[in-house]
Structure 1
Amino acid sequence: MKRLLPRLIFGIFCTFWILGHVVQSWHIPLVALFDHYFYDVRVRAFMPDTQDERIVIVDIDEKSLGELGRWPWKRSVLAELVRRLADDYAASVIGFDIVFAEPDDSSGLPVLDAMAHGPLRDNVAYQRVLAGQRAGLDYDRRFAESLRGRPVVLGFYFSNQAGASPGSRLPPPLLFEGQPSPGQFPVWPGFGGNLAAFQEAAASGGHFNPLMDSDGITRRVPLLGAYAGSYQPTLALAMSLMLLEAEKVRLFAPAAGAPVEWVDILGKRQILRIPVDADGAALVPYRGQEGSFHYVPAADVIAGRADPELLFGKIVLVGTTAPGLKDLRATPVGGSYPGVEIHANLLAGVLDGEIKERPAYTLVAEALLLIVAGGGLAVLLPFLSPLRGSLLTLGVLGALLGANLVLWQNGVVMPFASVALVILFTYGFNAAWGYFWESRTKRQLTERFGQYVPPELVVEMARNPEGYSMVGRNAEMTVLFSDVRNFTNISEGLDPKELAALMNEYLGAMTEVVRRHRGTLDKYIGDAIMAFWGAPLADPQHARHAVLVALEMQQAVKALAGPFQARGWPVLKIGIGINSGTMTVGDMGSPVRQSYTVMGDAVNLGARLEGITKEYGVGIAVGERTRAMCPEIVFRELDKVRVKGKATAVSIYEPLCQTSELDDGRRAELAAWQAALEAYRLQQWQEAERILQGLLRQKPDEPLYCLYRERIVHLMQVPPLDGEWDGVTSFKTK
């Protein structure tokens, strides 16, 4: 649990850190950036990418400038444009994405008026001619007259600079039912509007101030804007009001003082609902890339050569794409997108009821998802394997993404960045922590146990490193001691290099046998080997593995005889002692040096048994507990002994082979031997000798039989006193 704590803390911290962003306690730019990015991806993935035939953009383009001269054009030209659109092409509504803030003096009328009031004020003929030509030369008046009585909506802009542009005027305030939430809709200190004569003559007006998000991209337009206590609609809303013949809108808020959630256009024939967000802005439903609406050159309209099928009865927006005049914006569907098309997209969305909403409950839902999904993964991932953790993370992300896209298709914009980032951060930290922890753990396990156990066991231990420690503990285990017979004589007969080579080859072969059977190599003591089973990796068959190792070690020594003789080395013989029981295992030693080893009475007995093998002329001797734990192995009982330092007698055995390998002849021999041993313990010396004589006829050089025959001969000559015989052999030395 200790190693999981940092992962739990990090996951929970991420969850509540990003939760703070969601509830707006603090702003995290990365979350906002990712949320914007995912919003744009959804826009591009699901936009219809078709042209809207209802809306046409009359374009002040390069062609028109080439025909009619540089901008600004004479207001008389613009008056003709309005007349053509309204009268000849019967446009249902005309919106200008242009501000007419300054008077048009291009006709020279101000100069003529100055002369009329100056040097020519007494010239009756001049005054008569000027009066007759004034109407034709007053281009602003002609433009104002062209606006009057026609469905024209003029655009204007709000400004952060206090005050109004000279001579400009705002349209009449928007009429609405309901009460705007304080601070929800943008409030500006100034505006740049159209000349009063134009705005008074026009049917309506609307602002064209978009809202740029923190990354500079236009995704929203504030539906209403406030100046000096009055509210003005955006250009698209003003045009929609005219199309629906609506005089006012209705603001809906779930409670007094709560943010407005949508704006209803109260048309004579229908009501259109426009959702707004916490900033009073509508999300622009982009149809596609630039060109989602038909463009018609303004010069073609003015000349009367525009295609009537494109323009007749359509909604018209007048804007410009000419270099130097082009109003370009960064949008989700393009980095240089015409501003006039933003109004067209919003207008089309309003008319279709396709404005997506981001209601207040999405904030609560987002917070709940963070707590449930983010917090849940933060708690679960530390306890799962990498595969299961990855599958769970992918499953949760996939489910949340699918639900998010379903909501999008149903018109609800559900934030995704916060919960996705929490999940990715939590998973990434868990994966990285797990990787580095696992690498560190494997390295530590290798450092700790690599010199004792085979590499494959280290890998197995690394799957659950908490289960393995070098701290001392008690466990039932099996220990093995092996020793080379007459090693002193052998070492004296070889030079140091040959002795080192011999021992390296011998110890290498024996170590390989130990490791093959999952043994832990404790140490080399000169020519002796100490190994044990049952730690650090639990081994329910520790006794069986140790006995099999002893049998294989004897075979391996015999296999070395040929190569050793070929090199002039002596043939080795080894004795092995094995014992099972409760032992203390752990890292033991001094501050200078420590070793992972076993200690206890059971270990001491194992060491004594290795020395006893010489007395009985056998290669292996095991204790009672070891024999009891290996029912599938055939043992020959050697004796009951009382070793030095122990008052209790124990039976000792020699493992011969596995049960499946025992033939009938060997089985009969073992039965005869057991009968001789029983007679011996019952002091039936003649019977025991008789059986032994029969066994010696078969195997005259068997050391064990010879040992017992000598004992019986001595006991028959010097019988034990009454009460002194217990059939136990006591050893006074180690």
Structure 2
Amino acid sequence: MRQHIVRIAIGLLVVLAFLGHVARFYQIGFITQLDNIMYDYRLRLTMPGTVDERIVILDIDEKSLAVPELGRWPWGRDKISALINKLFDKYGVVIIGFDVVWAERDESSGLKVLDQLMKNQLRSVPQFGAALENLRPQLDHDAMFAKTIAGRPVVLGYYFNSDPDARESGALPPPVLPAGVFAGRNIGFSSWNGYGGNLPELQAAAVAGGHFNPLVDFDGVSRRVPMLIEYKGKYYEPLSLAIVRLLMGLEEAGRTNNSTVKLPAIAPYLAETKSKGYGGLERIDVGPLQIPVDEHVAALIPFRGERNSFRYVSLADVYFDRVPVDTLQGRIAIVGATAPGLFDLRSTPVGSVYPGVEIHANLVAGMLDHNRGAIKQKPPYMIGAEVVLLIIIGVALTLLLPLLSPLRATLVSLVVLVLVSGFNVMIWSGANMVLPLASSVLMIAALFALNMSYGYFIESRSKRQFTELFGQYVPPELVDKMAEDPEKYSMEGRSEELTVLFSDIRGFTTISEGLDPKQLSAFINEYLTSMSLVIRNNRGTLDKYIGDAIMAFWGAPVMDPEHPRQGVLSALLMQEEMYRLSEAFVARGWPPIKIGVGLNTGVMSVGDMGSKLRRAYTVMGDAVNLGSRLEGITKQYGVGIICGQRTRELVTDVIWRELDRVRVKGKDEPIAIFEPLGFDNQVSKEKIEETKLWNQALRAYRAQDWDQADMLLLNLQRMSGGAYLYETYAERVAHYRKDPPGPDWDGVWKFETK
């Protein structure tokens, strides 16, 4: 794990960066934007897409603006009053909500001019004053409008302004909650600096009023509407909530046969009621209606679909009685503008040009469908849930990815990404909650990219250094395996049971004298290359070249339980390669070659050894020295390979021929030495029979039965065509006949030279 500390530390910093964004310590714009895009996409995928017949939008469209007899917008209040009477009396609408502000007085009747005349020029004409007072109710369109809406289920709209220099104009409706209700609580109400309300007498006559201020996110898109706006310590509701509360009051009055309509009270539900430690509101309760809100006390707009998810009726058609009664009867009517010149078009998740009036209609429909979870929940404690999710995912991936290969890291990252996305969809659909997804997705992608890039740029460099270090000794496939976990293959010295090989060209001095320098270079290069490939192809580690001699070993730096067998296999293949090279050399006019190979298995020291000026990854120890001695005595027995006793014990699928028991130079303990003839399925029956006969001769020799030994050796020489090994033993028998070794002889041959 230690080699991954830097990567883990950087990964944890990445996780902390995302946590800071999620916990609102700062905002990273592109993450917020991606969250908005993902939210919009999920919303569009899950919208009902049907037209809601409960709500009708009375459209101030271009047709309504083009009727000469109605005049330009805003129409005279007398016409609006007539329209309201018609909507209630003829068409039977339930409620009228105005997405319009009646901020200025209606002077279209000329009453203001007549009042000026009464005060000035016609002041002395009593008949004029009396006539004017008789006509005033007909000419005061604002008073007429106020009288028309008084006592009727009409909700007026108004707006708040967040501009720094915003002013107050008109009148606000009574607040829905008293001042100080949230005293001492840190609730993130949106900030406003002024408002534009209706004429005081109009607002006073209306049963309710509501703002039509959607919150605009930094990308210019409206996704939420504040359910409560705080202004100078008082709290105000939106147009949609005022309409629904009025509808609930009408229904209650109808059930109780009460002529007085009372709007049900608003009861804020604190988030800390459910989740201790979290401020803010979780929802707004109005009787059985529960409206989920976020940390800014805003509700997500439950869009039913794209534009025209509600029936639109031209206001002019209603005025001129061109609309069937059943189109409007029993419905909620919201008056609003879609005409481009009135600038009530907004950017929303479902359309970049979307009528603002339809936002109110969507919210009204969502509140009416509250028992079906039409409005998604995003309570303040979802921030905590997202923080916990990021910590779990981030820490897990930070610790896990550095340990995996690129393929496995990719698969794990994809699986986590799918699980997180699936959990998010489950929360969205099953729990009706919005859990932001962008931070999780981007964090997973960032951690994956970090590990991949770190592995590519940093670990690739380390791997190259590692390869440069071990590549000269070890086959490429073993270097790749070692590079996956460099710490496991330290250069530090250690003791291991390994197998070492020494090889040498016999008579190389004579060969080199017969070649010019260029030929000698080509000769030795081809020989060393061929033999080295045999060793490397069988998982051997090349130690060094000493002239024509080769030193190699098996079992380090990569552990190999079959190191003795790989060594024996390499020695046998080197003999085969020797014959191939000899033929090639003779064809070029060069002399043929014979090589001797010594192989020994034992405990030896392995590691990076040498001086400050030059070091090498090598092996040392008595077992190594013995391997060198065994190579040196191959020519004494006329064989190509001699192995030590431990090698013979560990390799059981080879036909062995015991050569002798010897005491090499510098050693007191005798050892048995063996020649590998080949693997079980590669040695001929004749050679096996010859080996059996040889074993009999060796037993006779060690028993000092010189006659039996001499007879068997003579037969062996005939069978093999005069093998040097048999001739050597025949000479020993002749020597011991003349000079017997004595009864204490142990059959060991002692070498006085290396």
- Compare 568-577 and 186-195 and name the one that shifted more: 186-195
**1:667-713: CA deviation from partner (whole Å, max 9, x where unpaired):** 33323323333333344434332332232233352111112222332
Whether the aligned pair in 1 keeps the contact of 2:91 and 2:328 (CA below 8 Å) is yes
State how far apart, in whole Å, the 1-side matches of 2:165 and 2:343 are.
Answer: 26
**1:161-188: CA deviation from partner (whole Å, max 9, x where unpaired):** 688645x212223268994464534464
Whether the aligned pair in 2 keeps the contact of 1:609 and 1:622 (CA below 8 Å) is yes
Corresponding residue for residue 728 of structure 1: 748
Correspondence 1:367-446 to 2 at 5 A = 367-409=387-429, 410-436=431-457, 439-446=460-467
Q: Secondary structure at the match of 1:249?
A: coil
Evaluate the alpha carbon distance shift between residue 304 and residue 183 of structure 1 in structure 2; reply closer, same or farther with a 3 A threshold. farther
Whether the aligned pair in 1 keeps the contact of 2:467 and 2:483 (CA below 8 Å) is no
Corresponding residue for residue 110 of structure 1: 112
Whether the aligned pair in 2 keeps the contact of 1:252 and 1:260 (CA below 8 Å) is yes
Corresponding residue for residue 253 of structure 2: none
Query: RMSD value over aligned CA atoms?
Result: 2.9
Evaluate the alpha carbon distance shift between residue 625 and residue 214 of structure 1 in structure 2; reply closer, same or farther with a 3 A threshold. same
> Letter of the aligned partner of 1:733 in structure 2?
T
Query: Equivalent pairs: percent with the same residue?
Result: 51
Corresponding residue for residue 292 of structure 1: 309
Q: Secondary structure at the match of 1:98?
A: coil
Q: Secondary structure at the match of 1:59?
A: strand
**1:67-115: CA deviation from partner (whole Å, max 9, x where unpaired):** 2443333333333332332333222111111111112233443233323
Q: Secondary structure at the match of 1:169?
A: coil
State how far apart, in whole Å, the 1-side matches of 2:175 and 2:531 are.
Answer: 100
Whether the aligned pair in 2 keeps the contact of 1:175 and 1:247 (CA below 8 Å) is no
State how far apart, in whole Å, the 2-side matches of 1:441 and 1:290 are.
Answer: 59
Correspondence 1:212-227 to 2 at 5 A = 212-227=216-231
- Compare 200-209 and 423-432 and name the one that shifted more: 423-432
1:653 has 2:653 as partner? no
Corresponding residue for residue 203 of structure 1: 207
Corresponding residue for residue 368 of structure 2: 351
Whether the aligned pair in 2 keeps the contact of 1:453 and 1:520 (CA below 8 Å) is yes
Whether the aligned pair in 1 keeps the contact of 2:179 and 2:233 (CA below 8 Å) is no
State how far apart, in whole Å, the 2-side matches of 1:719 and 1:437 are.
Answer: 72
> Letter of the aligned partner of 1:240 in structure 2?
V
Whether the aligned pair in 1 keeps the contact of 2:660 and 2:749 (CA below 8 Å) is yes
**1:447-482: CA deviation from partner (whole Å, max 9, x where unpaired):** 122222222222333343332232222211111111
1:366 has 2:370 as partner? no
Correspondence 1:179-328 to 2 at 5 A = 179-180=181-182, 182-184=185-187, 185-186=189-190, 188-245=192-249, 246-253=262-269, 259-266=280-287, 271-328=288-345
**1:554-591: CA deviation from partner (whole Å, max 9, x where unpaired):** 12221233332222121111111111111222222333
Evaluate the alpha carbon distance shift between residue 376 and residue 559 of structure 1 in structure 2; reply closer, same or farther with a 3 A threshold. closer
Whether the aligned pair in 1 keeps the contact of 2:269 and 2:285 (CA below 8 Å) is no
Evaluate the alpha carbon distance shift between residue 117 and residue 158 of structure 1 in structure 2; reply closer, same or farther with a 3 A threshold. same
**1:320-353: CA deviation from partner (whole Å, max 9, x where unpaired):** 1222312232322223322111111111111111
Runs of at least 5 residues in structure 1 that lack an aligned partner in the other structure: none
State how far apart, in whole Å, the 1-side matches of 2:43 and 2:66 are.
Answer: 37
Q: Secondary structure at the match of 2:340?
A: coil
Correspondence 1:575-614 to 2 at 5 A = 575-614=596-635
**1:333-385: CA deviation from partner (whole Å, max 9, x where unpaired):** 22332211111111111111122223455344434433444433433444445
State how far apart, in whole Å, the 2-side matches of 1:250 and 1:297 are.
Answer: 34
State how far apart, in whole Å, the 2-side matches of 1:406 and 1:721 are.
Answer: 95
State how far apart, in whole Å, the 2-side matches of 1:693 and 1:319 are.
Answer: 124
**1:515-557: CA deviation from partner (whole Å, max 9, x where unpaired):** 2222122222222222211112222121222122222221222
Whether the aligned pair in 2 keeps the contact of 1:639 and 1:651 (CA below 8 Å) is yes
Matched pairs, number: 728
- Compare 335-344 and 588-597 and name the one that shifted more: 588-597
Q: TM-score, normalised by structure 1?
A: 0.91
Evaluate the alpha carbon distance shift between residue 698 and residue 174 of structure 1 in structure 2; reply closer, same or farther with a 3 A threshold. closer
**1:492-526: CA deviation from partner (whole Å, max 9, x where unpaired):** 22222222233333223222222222212222222
> Letter of the aligned partner of 1:560 in structure 2?
L
**How far 1:193 moved relative to its partner?**
0.7
State how far apart, in whole Å, the 2-side matches of 1:260 and 1:510 are.
Answer: 81
Correspondence 1:50-65 to 2 at 5 A = 50-65=50-65
State how far apart, in whole Å, the 2-side matches of 1:381 and 1:661 are.
Answer: 49
State how far apart, in whole Å, the 1-side matches of 2:192 and 2:264 are.
Answer: 22
1:677 has 2:693 as partner? no
> Letter of the aligned partner of 2:522 in structure 1?
A
Whether the aligned pair in 1 keeps the contact of 2:177 and 2:234 (CA below 8 Å) is no
Corresponding residue for residue 255 of structure 2: none
Evaluate the alpha carbon distance shift between residue 590 and residue 70 of structure 1 in structure 2; reply closer, same or farther with a 3 A threshold. farther
Whether the aligned pair in 2 keeps the contact of 1:176 and 1:250 (CA below 8 Å) is no
**How far 1:436 moved relative to its partner?**
4.5
1:332 has 2:349 as partner? yes
Correspondence 1:455-466 to 2 at 5 A = 455-466=476-487
State how far apart, in whole Å, the 1-side matches of 2:418 and 2:585 are.
Answer: 67
Evaluate the alpha carbon distance shift between residue 237 and residue 482 of structure 1 in structure 2; reply closer, same or farther with a 3 A threshold. same
State how far apart, in whole Å, the 2-side matches of 1:196 and 1:665 are.
Answer: 124
State how far apart, in whole Å, the 2-side matches of 1:162 and 1:183 are.
Answer: 26
Q: TM-score, normalised by structure 2?
A: 0.89
> Letter of the aligned partner of 2:687 in structure 1?
R
1:452 has 2:470 as partner? no
**How far 1:292 moved relative to its partner?**
1.1
Whether the aligned pair in 1 keeps the contact of 2:627 and 2:644 (CA below 8 Å) is yes
Evaluate the alpha carbon distance shift between residue 689 and residue 187 of structure 1 in structure 2; reply closer, same or farther with a 3 A threshold. closer
Whether the aligned pair in 1 keeps the contact of 2:44 and 2:305 (CA below 8 Å) is yes
1:146 has 2:163 as partner? no
State how far apart, in whole Å, the 2-side matches of 1:712 and 1:449 are.
Answer: 50
Evaluate the alpha carbon distance shift between residue 731 and residue 190 of structure 1 in structure 2; reply closer, same or farther with a 3 A threshold. same
Evaluate the alpha carbon distance shift between residue 567 and residue 230 of structure 1 in structure 2; reply closer, same or farther with a 3 A threshold. closer
State how far apart, in whole Å, the 1-side matches of 2:392 and 2:230 are.
Answer: 40
Whether the aligned pair in 1 keeps the contact of 2:180 and 2:233 (CA below 8 Å) is no
